[in-house]
């Protein structure tokens, strides 16, 4: 496993890749699982809760996610009380060729962020519930209806595979504000 560099929108070459449409995966084999492992390690290192392969420059339709939402053990609250407990809640998820089969009319607004748009957050409105399909890490087809943060993250990552960033859902003014913020953040990271 290896931590890869995450592409960011302030870099013109990176942005050109982030705008590309990723290609379906023919089979979930060891090569795809190795990509998933690199993506997961990169995401945990960042840290973030979701990552699409295109964000590390690989144009395959692969997504990893960890919302830290593994079921609580007996006697534990929903909110982890310690770092060890939080680590036990780790719940890595893997998606190949994800798709949305149905979306609710009801919408849900969430303050989204993105590892390719560091330190910029803004409210995005998306369908509150979606019925989705994908291949899991073993290559089995899964269909499920999801909601809440899981649904937000799934739709955000699926957008990435179609060359769409969350700021593309915002007004021109807010997109420009995001670009300016990211430039500033990346300059200060380079100076550090």
Residues that bind Zn ion (CB under 5 A): 114
Least gap, CB of 63 to Zn ion (angstroms) = 10
Q: Which of 99, 140, 145, 157 is catalytic?
A: 157
Least gap, CB of 2 to Zn ion (angstroms) = 20
HEC string for the chain: CCCCCCCCCCCHHHHHHHCCCCECCCCCCHHHHHHHHHHHHHHHHCCCCEEEHHHHCCCECEEEEECCCCCCCCCCCCCCCCHHHHHHCCCEEEEEEEEEEEECCCEEEEEECCCCCCCCCEEEEEECEEEEEEECCCCCEEEEEEEHHHHHHHHHHHHHHCCCCHHHHCCHHHHHHHHHHHHHHHHHHHHC
Instruction: Establish whether 83 is a catalytic residue.
Output: no
Residue 35 vs 114, nearer CB to Zn ion: 114
Least gap, CB of 149 to Zn ion (angstroms) = 14
Residue 114 vs 161, nearer CB to Zn ion: 114
Residue 28 vs 117, nearer CB to Zn ion: 117
Catalytic residue annotation: 157
């Amino acid at each position: 496993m290896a931590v890869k560099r995450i592409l960011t929108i302030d870099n013109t070459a990176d942005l050109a890749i982030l705008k590309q449409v990723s290609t379906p995966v023919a089979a979930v084999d060891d090569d795809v699982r190795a990509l998933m492992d690199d993506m997961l390690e990169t995401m945990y290192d960042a840290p973030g809760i979701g990552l699409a392969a295109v964000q590390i420059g690989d144009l395959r339709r692969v997504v990893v996610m960890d919302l830290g939402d593994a079921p609580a053990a007996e006697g534990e609250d929903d909110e982890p009380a310690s770092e060890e407990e939080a680590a036990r809640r780790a719940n890595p998820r893997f998606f190949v060729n994800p798709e949305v089969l149905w979306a609710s009319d009801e919408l849900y607004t969430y303050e989204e962020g993105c590892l390719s748009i560091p330190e910029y957050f803004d409210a995005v409105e998306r369908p509150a519930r979606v019925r989705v399909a994908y291949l899991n890490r073993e290559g089995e087809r899964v269909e499920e209806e999801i909601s809440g943060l899981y649904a937000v993250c799934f739709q955000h990552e699926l957008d990435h595979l179609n060359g769409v960033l969350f700021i593309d859902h915002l007004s021109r003014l807010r997109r420009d504000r995001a670009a300016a913020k990211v430039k500033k953040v990346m300059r200060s990271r380079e100076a550090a």
